[in-house]
Amino acid sequence: MPRALLLENIDQVAADALRAAGFEVESRRGALDEADLVEALDGVDVLGIRSKTQVTADVLRRRPDLCAVGAFCIGTNQIDLTAAAAAGVAVFNAPYSNTRSVVEMALAEIIILARRLVDRDRALHAGTWDKSATGSHEIRGRTLGIVGYGNIGSQLSVLAEALGMRVVYYDLEDKLALGNAERCNTLEELLERAEAVTLHVDGRGGNAGLFGAEQFARMRPRSLFLNLSRGFVVDHEALRDNVLSGHIAGAAVDVFPEEPREQGDPFDSVLRGLPNVVLTPHVGGSTQEAQYDIGRFVAGKLVDYSRSGTTTLSVNLPTVVLHGSSAARFALLHRNEPGVLARADALVGEHGLNVDGQVLATRGGLGYAVTDVSAPLPPGLVAALQALPETVRLTVGPAPD
């Protein structure tokens, strides 16, 4: 029975789906550091994580039997994708499942900050009645600047415009504007035009330190600032200075450079206690609806891969789908060199089998071929395929129904 390990409190629907597919499943609430992860992966075929567990090249090297990793979130920067591909480990994520959750939270926080509801709430909890409109504004007619116009940024653009905001955006790629949004040619242009700036960039290394003292200085006085993307993108000391000086009228931060590994662990930040600042523990995508959808979606990809070799939406392997059924199927992940498929097919013929169906795709230095054959694979054929010098990983089994 194949084994799956799910970390970081992944929704129960994922465990249920894997068990229904024949997996033995172990679920844990927290993340694991590298040494603990290596130990926990002993005998594990499939790993499920969220954003905190780091799947490094060393982890992959020390656990060569691991077949697949599911990132039950949007980002995959916590996984060494190059090393995973080289080891024949397929990686899947959920690029769309929690988009709406993040967008709704960003909109809520823009309104909360514009109305200074954080300070009103704190005053009432402290026993002070402060009924005043001072510093409280509508968002209608204000300009929202979106940095990163991907799945989240573009959907936020549409909903913010529906609330009466003007929208400008900046992205490294040339993205088509939705609605009446306007594209800015530079980040500096966006900062000079926007009255609220929200970051929705990905986890690529080039985004580290994207937003610091220089960028805050370029923002319009008394602007709002939000970061629901990656913690290492923003200089929190610079943000603190600008909030205390009044240059930034309010801020909302959901991600931090260093985050506790488990629920209930202590947390500290230079942003704690600042006026009109909302701090949340990396919950932008953490609604029950989103976590259910993510659990169902990623578990489904892991099941499809284990059953049929399907790599649709894998972030690091060639995309292959082979429909139909036959007596047996093998999936050959190999170095992308000329003649590999021809030699594999010749071996099939030498062992008295016919190829009933076959799909090949390549991605960079890797090729991935899924082949249906007319009879169960004899041990000699399996050994010969594994012995091909270009083979990275061979998976064999009955063809799916």
**pLDDT digit string, tens, across residues 229-241:** 999 999 999 999 9
214 has catalytic annotation: no
Q: Does residue 364 contact residue 396 with C-beta atoms inside 8 Å?
A: no
* CATH 3.40.718.10 holds for 99-279: no
pLDDT at 263: 81
* CATH 3.40.50.720 holds for 1-97+288-311: yes
Instruction: Please name the residue that has the structure tokens 């990396």.
Output: 282
Kindly tell me if the per-residue pLDDT of 398 is higher than 80: no
Strand (E) or helix (H) holding 130: none
The rounded distance, in Å, linking the Cα atoms of 220 and 218 is 7
pLDDT at 323: 87
The rounded distance, in Å, linking the Cα atoms of 318 and 91 is 11
Domain boundaries, given as residue ranges, for the chain: 1-97+288-311, 99-279, 318-396
**Partners of 396 in the β-ladder:** 330
Tens-place pLDDT, residues 339-375? 999 999 999 999 999 999 999 999 999 999 999 999 9
Within 10 angstroms of residue 100's Cβ, the number of other Cβ atoms is 19
Tens-place pLDDT, residues 268-281? 999 999 999 999 99
Structure tokens at 323: 């429909």
Name the band, by pLDDT with cuts 50, 70 and 90, for residue 97.
confident
282 has catalytic annotation: yes
Tens-place pLDDT, residues 165-188? 999 999 999 999 999 999 999 999
**pLDDT (average), residues 84-99:** 94
Task: Identify the active-site residue in 34, 192, 259, 390.
Answer: 259
Torsion of CA 260, 262, 266, 270, to 10 degrees: 30
Closest-CA residue to 81 (of 63, 73, 69): 69
**pLDDT (average), residues 48-71:** 96
The rounded distance, in Å, linking the Cα atoms of 325 and 334 is 23
Give pTM, 2 decimals.
0.84
pLDDT exceeding 90 applies to what percent of the chain?
Answer: 91
> Which carries the bigger pLDDT value, residue 325 or residue 295?
295
Tens-place pLDDT, residues 289-309? 999 999 999 999 999 999 999
Within 10 angstroms of residue 335's Cβ, the number of other Cβ atoms is 14
Task: Identify the active-site residue in 230, 236, 329, 334.
Answer: 230
Tens-place pLDDT, residues 119-144? 999 999 999 999 999 999 999 999 99
Kindly tell me if the per-residue pLDDT of 324 is higher than 80: no
pLDDT at 15: 98
Tens-place pLDDT, residues 13-31? 999 999 999 999 999 998 9
pLDDT at 203: 82
Name the band, by pLDDT with cuts 50, 70 and 90, for residue 399.
low
Task: Identify the active-site residue in 100, 220, 282, 334.
Answer: 282
350 has catalytic annotation: no
Per CATH, 1-97+288-311 and 318-396 having the same topology is answered no
Cα 369 to the chain's mean position, in Å?
Answer: 26
Topology of the domain covering 318-396: Alpha-Beta Plaits (3.30.70)
